[in-house]
Chains A and B, each alone.
Chain A
Amino acid sequence: MLDGTNRAADEVVAVMPPALVECTVEKVAVNAVMAGCLPEYLPVVLAALEAVCTDEFNMHGILATTMGVGPVLVVNGPVSSRIGMNSGVNALGQGNRANATIGRAVQLVVRNVGGGAPGGIDRATHGSMAKLGFCFAEDEAGSPWTTLSEDRGFDRSQDVVTAFCGEAPRILVDQKSRSADSLVRALAEGLRASVSPRVVMGMDGMLVLSPEHMSRFRDAGWDRNRFMSELAGHLTVEADEILAGAGGIEEGLPEGFAGTTLPKFRPGGLLVVHAGGPAGLFSAIVGGWVNGPMGSEPTSREITP
């Protein structure tokens, strides 16, 4: 396994929460073997651990929270095809060794080295499949848009892993929209329910656009910026509809927000990725967790040998 990286076995990769112990490349390698990784996956695992073990990503809180969230890892750059990652059919599911084991290795390191065992520091009410390990690659070649990593300031030629704190994905169906305008409205409507229709701005989200959904925007000539702008225009919420007590539901915003219109997501709080098989008029939503300095920031790291 250690042949997969140029880094020394005793090099410290990160200080691992929750026990805050120094974690070496060798310890990561041991857990990567247990996860089923091939040696060529190790640099991705190492970069992912560097991303999650930062104050801004806040792996401690993500592990400890009662919400069922975990590090959702998106890989960009030539490395994804070089190590055989799946960005196509069943990209978020089973059946690809790299996708299945990279995220698993990250979780095993947190559990074994950091001591973050379920029922101990890990207090998740239900947990979710995202906590087993959630990693996939963006379909860059099939997308007319800039990639997630480019959107986050990297060059397309760089190998990058982005960690997003999220739950397991759910499907958003729209099989009838034939125009970009119709589909963006449908996506916005679905995204408004991310985490809860009553949560606005405080939690981020990820949208995984399928190739067939992307084709609507490609045909209309929309680039990423146009899409994000149109989507934001439809992703506003009338606060009166989600005030505490509105509709007989006690959960909701304080009365002080009455009469205002609010965005569902904070600026930059929705990550959009292109992945999935060539057939299927669905996209996937990954709900997030407490965002920003109070919780978790999406965090990217370059993958180096």
Chain B
Amino acid sequence: MSQPTVVLDPTAGTTPSDRTRSPRPTSLVGVTVGLLDISKPRGDVFLDRVAERLGEQGATVLRYAKPTFTKPAPVDLRHEIATQCAAVIEALAD
């Protein structure tokens, strides 16, 4: 009698957990928006302009920066943004 075939899973076997999105702001008036600079050249140029536009629409803007664009944002920084802001915009690169 032949042996049963055993198939081994090369993956971690994990599945992403479902998380409900936070409600989207319906207006920017009085809303605190975080701007996260990933620290690539000229990301600040983009974010400066975004900050200007958000300010014109009544939002309060807080600025953040990753220590380096090559690594994920440190957990403390993510926590800081999550607790201080209702929305966040990230400037990717160049």
Residues of A participating in the B interface, judged by any CB pair closer than 8 Å = 16, 19, 21, 23, 26-27, 30-31, 34, 55, 58, 60-61, 65-66, 108, 112-115, 290, 293-296
Contact = CB atoms under 8 A, between A and B. Distances in A.
B76 interface: no
A23 B13 CA distance: 11
Contacts of B12: 16, 19, 21, 23, 27, 112-115
Contacts of A58: 70-71
B2 interface: no
A55 B67 CA distance: 13
Interface of B: 8-12, 14, 67-68, 70-72, 93
A179 B49 CA distance: 57
Contacts of A108: 10
Contacts, number: 42
A19 to B, nearest CB: 6
A115 B13 CA distance: 10
Given A30-B8, A34-B10, 8 more contacts: A19-B14, A26-B8, A27-B12, A30-B10, A60-B72, A66-B93, A108-B10, A295-B70
19 contacts: A19-B14, A26-B8, A27-B12, A30-B8, A30-B9, A30-B10, A34-B10, A60-B71, A60-B72, A65-B70, A108-B10, A112-B11, A113-B12, A115-B11, A115-B12, A290-B68, A290-B70, A295-B70, A296-B70
